[in-house]
Amino acid sequence: MTTIMERANALLIEFEQNATSMEKVTPETVEELRIHWLGKKGIVTRLFEDMRHVPNEEKRDAGKSMNVLKTSIEASLEVLKSKAADSVFHSILNRAPLDITLPSQKDTLKGALHPITLMQQKLLKEFRQHGFTVYDGPETDFDFYNFTALNLPADHPARDMQDTFHLKTNQDIMVLRTQTSNIQIHAMLQEKPPLRIVAPGRVYRVDSDQTHTPIFHQIEGLVVDKKISFADLKGMIQSMLHSIYGASAKTRFRPSYFPFVEPGAEVDMQCTHCQGEGCKICKNTGWLEIGGCGMVHPNVFEAVSYDSEEYTGFAFGFGLDRMAMLNWQLPDLRQLFEGDADFQSQFSVFAEGAPC
Amino acid sequence: MLVSKNWLNDYVNLDGLTDSDLDRILTGLGLEVEGIKTIAPLDDLLVVGEILKADRHPNADTLQICTVSIGGPEPLQIVCGASNARAGIRVVVAQIGSLLPGNFKIKESKIRGEKSFGMLCSESELGISEASEGILELDSTYTVGSKINSVIKTGDSIFEISLTPNRSDCNGVIGIARDLAAKIGKPLLYPKSEAKIAESFLIANPVKVELHPNSGCERFAALYISDIENGPSPRWLQKRLETAGMRPINLIVDITNYVMFEMNQPIHAYDERQVKGKSILVRKGRDAEKLTTIDKKVVDLVSSDIVICDAEGAIGLAGIMGGLNSEVKDDTKNIIIEIASFDPTCVRRTAKRNAFHTEASHRFERGVDIENIVAVADRITDLFILCSKQTGKRHPLISKNVLDVYPKAIKRPRIALRLDRARKILGLFSLTADTCIKHLSALEFKLLDRKDDRLLFEVPLWRVDVTREIDLIEEIARLESFDKIPYRMPVMEIAPLKENPFIRFVDEAKITLASLGMTEVITYPFTSHIDYQNLAITNDHPFHPSVELSNPLVQDHSWMQTTGLIGLLKATERNHRFQRKGARLFEFGKAFHNFSNKEVDFEKFPSFRGINRQPLHFTARAFSEASRPMERHLATFLIDYPFQKKSWAKEELAPSFFDAKQIVDSLLKAFAIKDVTFTRPSSEELPFLHPTASAVLKKDSAVFGWLGELHPKVAHKFGFEITQVPVVCELDLEALFKTASEKAVIESETFEFPHALRDLAFTVDTSTTHGDIINTVQSFKRKKYLESIELFDVFSGEGIPEGKKSMAYSLTFRAPGKTLQDQDVEKELTSFMEWLQTSIGAVKR
């Protein structure tokens, strides 16, 4: 009768023969080999079971040789496993090479926001950082909010400045708002001073050519408090333009007329393309018109029952479409409203920097 | 407003100011210069010459050989075709080498065998006017040999000023000059009055004027001038009118136009022969009364029109245009001149109603200076006398007095200016009272009183825009320059108002859709009834439009949209025409409804009950809002054909209902909106979608929107190929927002332990839906660890009994705070399968 020791030695030789005669060394064949020798019903496992028949005085040596057998097999299996892995790596790495110039899938999953949305988000982010609250208001509105309360009474020639869409109504005159300034009235009728709001939105005018479309977009601002001055207006607008166009952006305020502000001004920014030298974009003037602004007219405060002696305020309105056109150098306003898939998909999902 | 620099220079000395200086100054005053047209001065080789001798050309009857002195030792021989070329007159000589307007260079030439060393010029050749009858004859006092530019001002710059409607005074050249003078600190030079008219030229004023009470005429002055030799006006006057963009007509009309441009006072001249009874009555129009205006338009008068009448009837539409019957003709000798002030509102309404926009109505609507009327009359008189002298015509006879009817004199307003108020408004604390007085006085505002820092000014009536203290402050800021006001940041200690979170929600929803690969577009929200017909939307449907424009840009744009679908379909159809297919477009817009205008039976359209509501974010309190249209915020998107383009790796795929559903689910997930059901609409509700590939999105009673494949007939109507139909979806943002307003809870604990996955396949009746299975999950009472189930296979056919289908789900089990044991999962899986069997008769496969 052979001893466990002798059997262990013989098995080790048998294993080595098994291992060296393997036809294919793959993770699967190595695993098969492991199960055959070390698995739950494997040869070595069964040998261990025979240990209980070994007399006590021999157990020590028998155990030793058993352990040698097991560790040797384990070590060999490790070597085989790594050899098997190498062959897998090899086969992966030696696949037929790709034609890396083949095109990717035609359906790119890049979305895009509209340039007006991007511009709006950029501005809202800045204004919120300056403590402004974003406000919203209706696009169909009573004449009162769009005109009368804004110091534009009926039959005022300044109404000719804006060709207005009227709604068919039975009684009160209703319009599609011609300016986001209607939100000034809504906000002041709803909130007590002081306030600091900004309101982006769509506006409508009866107009259509290369630089005019029946819809366009504005962003309105209104600040009312006890010590607000024209100097604050200049500072705020300049700071805003600096955050968008960089601190070198020069601004110019020149007198203009909007019935709901006095003094009223037009804001120009030094042309960002030619730095004021004069170019096609700024029509050789060196300046770009950004929007209108001014000190809230006391008549407007009175229309919403604010004390026009106690409170002063400034308001401004920028053209979002215009700013977008300048930003991306777009020649034709109408292009913004055609829904052209190729044109629109060029834009990004985020405004420069993170969205608000 | 077009204004010539030369003309301005008559009233304010502009020496030393270049065009760009003037541009900057005017724009800085709020008189925005939109463009400058320069008229180059004539070539310096053009000189004054004198014809010494004019002989017949030997070879041509119509030509003359002139010997012309230009001051040099040798006179020039010049061949000339003008019949008025004769010895003794001074003419314009273009010497060899000179360049005439139109890039015409004068060369030495031989005309019919005779040498010619230059050209004698006509007005048209000089670009002065269009008259080309003969050569220009110069004043005999001009020195022979001097440059033309030194004797007549030939160059000019025409400034195109974009006048804001408040500055009515600047509709006159003097008004602009006044602002300029005040700004550059020079005096304003009013036109000099001619010497007194000799007694022999004065006659009595035969005109009678009557103003009806409430006629709308505040002042009417009638000047009578007779024995006028009408004809062309002098060249300088014609030129001036041309710079202002007006065509010269005849002396009488030109003078009235000239003074209008100069002094911003419209003037009308009537042919005295046609003014019956030489009497003028100003009254309101009468019913059925008609007047034919000079432009031959028949106006039906109404009681708000102001009408000028003679003894028999209407002869003019006040403030707008004269009547054809009393028009000044070339042979007119005697005229009645109207210098009046009319109610701006009446003029504006009449002009608007009849689509008139004349130089006169433009000025009256904005306001003229009622005090100026007598000065205007004097200026007209002066010009008639001056022109008669200049053109060598008869001296006209002038009425001794101007008949001036001015029932209720208007007083100049008095406005107090508080210095501290001006400083506070402008933020310009260095402003002094003296500076304020200096600027306002320069504009001819009269300081009446000064107490400490309270200044009382009287405002001239030409400044109709100055009515309050704030207007004085604006004038000061304008003249001081806005550039002097510092840049400061507003000090605001208040906490910002609470923002309506809906506004951020909308922005986030936009970003979410874009990050899902969708492209945002903006289209016009204007639609027509045909669009709704094409969508198969009937008149009683809540989406039938109910907000109509009374003045649409084009007829197709008459109705405000009730769905964003139309805009997206049209944009996509356009994209198809441009071979741009497969776009995934979305638009955030508004639906406009007015359910007070429109009866809708919501019983028939139960899914849309919720759209008849008050707008979410907006509550106005100013006055009755009952008739305000409702504006519903929408997100509409469209997945065009093909969903997947054909490529070397993939087949072309049409978009399916589920592609849209995937976008919706992702959007809902982004806002943690759970348990939304997709239910089949009734056929009336969504007639524009495929009847069996469409759904309404609901959660409890709230309807979030709809989605589905476009109905092939609708697709066809909108110009799509019916095999290439897009999938569309529209969401009601306010309804979504109401549900999304709870913050999404971010679970972190459960993710520290692995979840267990099991697959389960079973057969059910063909009629059983995925929704039914979801319901069994919700009603599974012994649910402990089952977190979610996900369908990965549905099939019927081979191996599946008739009337049955196989559904296979992947089930996720998760236990917070621990690793699940196999036996726990197996136990729950068995129990869930039992539940499926009990509740819907599922049989495990």
Sort strands B414-418 and B454-458 into parallel, antiparallel or unpaired: antiparallel
- 3-state class of A253 per DSSP? strand
DSSP summary character for residue B494: S
Could you tell me the CA-to-CA distances from B197 to A217, A286, B385, B750 in Å, in that order?
61, 53, 9, 107
Average pLDDT of the segment spanning B368-372: 94
Sort strands B584-593 and B519-520 into parallel, antiparallel or unpaired: parallel
Nearest CA-CA partner of B36 in B188, B126, B162, B168? B162
Does the beta-carbon distance from A105 to B650 stay under 8 Å? yes
pLDDT single digits (tens) B399-449: 988 999 999 999 999 999 999 999 999 999 999 999 999 999 999 999 999
Does the beta-carbon distance from A131 to B492 stay under 8 Å? yes
pLDDT single digits (tens) B609-661: 888 877 654 555 444 566 788 899 999 999 999 998 888 888 999 999 999 99
Summary count for chain B: helices (H), strands (E) = 21, 42
Q: Is B254 on the interface with A (CB under 8 A)?
A: no
Does the beta-carbon distance from A298 to B520 stay under 8 Å? no
How close A151 comes to chain B (CA, Å)? 12
The 10 Å Cβ neighbour count of residue B378 is: 14
CB burial class (10 A; 0-12, 13-18, 19+) of residue B103?
exposed
Q: Is B216 on the interface with A (CB under 8 A)?
A: no
pLDDT at A353 over 50: no
| Residues sharing a CB contact under 8 Å with residue B128, sequence separation 6 or more, in sequence order | B136, B154, B235, B239
d(CA A261, CA B265): 28
- C-alpha dihedral, A201 to A206 to A210 to A211, nearest 10°: -50
The 10 Å Cβ neighbour count of residue B352 is: 14
pLDDT single digits (tens) B126-175: 876 655 578 888 888 888 988 888 877 778 999 999 999 999 999 999 99
CB contacts, 8 Å: B483 with chain A: 252-253
The 10 Å Cβ neighbour count of residue B366 is: 26
Q: Is A338 on the interface with B (CB under 8 A)?
A: yes
Could you tell me the CA-to-CA distances from B116 to B80, B81, B108, B123 in Å, in that order?
9, 12, 6, 20
Tell which A residues from 170 to 189 touch B, by Cβ distance under 8 Å. Answer: 170-172, 174, 176, 185-186, 189
CB contacts, 8 Å: B644 with chain A: 105, 107
- Average pLDDT along chain B: 91
pLDDT at B353: 93
Average pLDDT of the segment spanning B730-734: 94
pLDDT single digits (tens) B230-269: 998 888 898 899 999 999 999 999 999 999 999 999 999 9
CB contacts, 8 Å: B619 with chain A: 190
Sort strands B208-211 and B279-284 into parallel, antiparallel or unpaired: parallel
How close B283 comes to chain A (CA, Å)? 21
In sequence order, what DSSP letters do the residues of A120-158 get, joined into one string?
Answer: HHHHHHHHHHTTPEE----SEEEHHHHTGGGT--TT-GG
- 3-state class of B284 per DSSP? strand
Name the residue facing B649 among A105, A112, A134 (closest C-beta): A105
CB contacts, 8 Å: B628 with chain A: 138, 140-142, 174
> Tokens 């690793």 identify what position?
B819
Name the band, by pLDDT with cuts 50, 70 and 90, for residue B345.
very high
Q: Is B527 on the interface with A (CB under 8 A)?
A: no
CB contacts, 8 Å: B503 with chain A: 134, 136
Q: Is B719 on the interface with A (CB under 8 A)?
A: no
Could you tell me the CA-to-CA distances from A302 to A296, A306, B276, B558, B619 in Å, in that order?
11, 6, 51, 36, 21
Does the beta-carbon distance from B499 to A134 stay under 8 Å? yes
Does the beta-carbon distance from A227 to B618 stay under 8 Å? no
pLDDT at A308 over 80: yes
pLDDT at B621: 47
Nearest CA-CA partner of A341 in B568, B585, B645? B585
- 3-state class of A175 per DSSP? strand
In our burial notation (b when 16+ CB lie closer than 10 A, e otherwise), range B763-785 reads bbeeebeeeebeebbeebeeeeb
| Residues sharing a CB contact under 8 Å with residue B349, sequence separation 6 or more, in sequence order | A155, B304
Does the beta-carbon distance from B30 to A255 stay under 8 Å? yes
Does the beta-carbon distance from B568 to A339 stay under 8 Å? yes
Contact B440, B476 (CB under 8 A): yes
The values of phi and psi at residue B616, to 5°, are -65, -50
> Tokens 């402008």 identify what position?
B426
Nearest CA-CA partner of B473 in B519, B444, B435, B506? B435
- Strand-pair partners of B405: B220
CB contacts, 8 Å: A177 with chain B: none
The values of phi and psi at residue B503, to 5°, are -65, -45
d(CA B230, CA B223): 17
User: First vs last Cα of chain A: how many Å apart?
Assistant: 86
> Tokens 């993170």 identify what position?
A354
pLDDT at A350 over 80: no
pLDDT above 70 as % of chain B:
96
pLDDT at B830: 93
Average pLDDT of the segment spanning A73-86: 92
Contact B403, B207 (CB under 8 A): yes
Q: Pick the residue with more confidence: B663 or A171?
A: B663
| Residues sharing a CB contact under 8 Å with residue B334, sequence separation 6 or more, in sequence order | B224, B225, B226, B227, B228, B271, B272, B273
CB contacts, 8 Å: A195 with chain B: 494, 497
Q: Is A214 on the interface with B (CB under 8 A)?
A: yes
pLDDT at A355 over 50: no
pLDDT single digits (tens) B588-612: 999 999 887 777 888 888 888 888 8
Does the beta-carbon distance from B629 to A239 stay under 8 Å? no
User: First vs last Cα of chain B: how many Å apart?
Assistant: 88
Contact B613, B600 (CB under 8 A): no
d(CA A158, CA A180): 17
E strands, B454-574, are 454-458, 519-520, 526-527, 559-560
Name the band, by pLDDT with cuts 50, 70 and 90, for residue A356.
very low
CB contacts, 8 Å: B511 with chain A: 113, 349-350, 355
Structure tokens at B61: 């009857």
Name the band, by pLDDT with cuts 50, 70 and 90, for residue B20.
very high
Average pLDDT of the segment spanning B258-281: 95
pLDDT at B129: 62
CA of B484: which chain A residue's CA is closest?
Answer: A231
Structure tokens at A297: 């007219």
Does the beta-carbon distance from B551 to A140 stay under 8 Å? no
CA of B580: which chain A residue's CA is closest?
Answer: A341
Does the beta-carbon distance from A186 to B520 stay under 8 Å? no
Number of residue pairs across A and B with CB atoms under 8 Å?
298
pLDDT at B39 over 90: no
Alpha helices in B519-612 (DSSP H): 529-534, 565-577
Sort strands B137-138 and B90-94 into parallel, antiparallel or unpaired: antiparallel
CA of B644: which chain A residue's CA is closest?
Answer: A107
d(CA B615, CA B419): 46
Tell which A residues from 61 to 80 touch B, by Cβ distance under 8 Å. Answer: none
Q: Is B416 on the interface with A (CB under 8 A)?
A: no
Question: Sheet holding B156-162: strands in order across?
Answer: B2-4, B156-162, B32-39
Q: Is A197 on the interface with B (CB under 8 A)?
A: yes
Name the residue facing B477 among A114, A227, A263 (closest C-beta): A263
- 3-state class of A161 per DSSP? helix
ipTM of predicted assembly, 2 dp: 0.85
Tell which B residues from 429 to 488 touch A, by Cβ distance under 8 Å. Answer: 468, 470-471, 473-474, 477-478, 482-483, 485-488
CA of A336: which chain B residue's CA is closest?
Answer: B522
How close A341 comes to chain B (CA, Å)? 6
d(CA B653, CA B569): 20
CB contacts, 8 Å: B521 with chain A: 114, 339-340, 344
Which of A107, A152, A238 is the best residue to mutate to test the B interface, defined by the most B CB atoms within 10 Å of its own CB? A107
Containing B322, the helix (H) or strand (E) segment is strand B321-322
Nearest CA-CA partner of B731 in B707, B714, B699? B707
CA of B348: which chain A residue's CA is closest?
Answer: A155
pLDDT at A348: 84
Is the omega angle on the peptide bond into residue B642 within 30 degrees of 0, that is, cis?
A: yes
pLDDT at B622: 42
CA of B468: which chain A residue's CA is closest?
Answer: A298
Does the beta-carbon distance from B165 to A174 stay under 8 Å? no
How close A231 comes to chain B (CA, Å)? 5
- Rg of chain B over Cα atoms, rounded to whole angstroms, equals 42
pLDDT at B494: 65
Name the residue facing A112 among B491, B519, B550 (closest C-beta): B519
Contact A135, A185 (CB under 8 A): no
Q: Is A114 on the interface with B (CB under 8 A)?
A: yes
pLDDT single digits (tens) B199-213: 889 999 999 999 999
Average pLDDT of the segment spanning B466-487: 96
pLDDT at B352: 92
CB contacts, 8 Å: A180 with chain B: none
- Strand-pair partners of B341: B219
The 10 Å Cβ neighbour count of residue B165 is: 18
pLDDT at B758: 93
Name the band, by pLDDT with cuts 50, 70 and 90, for residue B787.
confident
pLDDT at B577: 94
Contact B255, B396 (CB under 8 A): no
Does the beta-carbon distance from A142 to B511 stay under 8 Å? no
Tell which A residues from 281 to 300 touch B, by Cβ distance under 8 Å. Answer: 295, 297-299
pTM: 0.85
Name the band, by pLDDT with cuts 50, 70 and 90, for residue B43.
confident
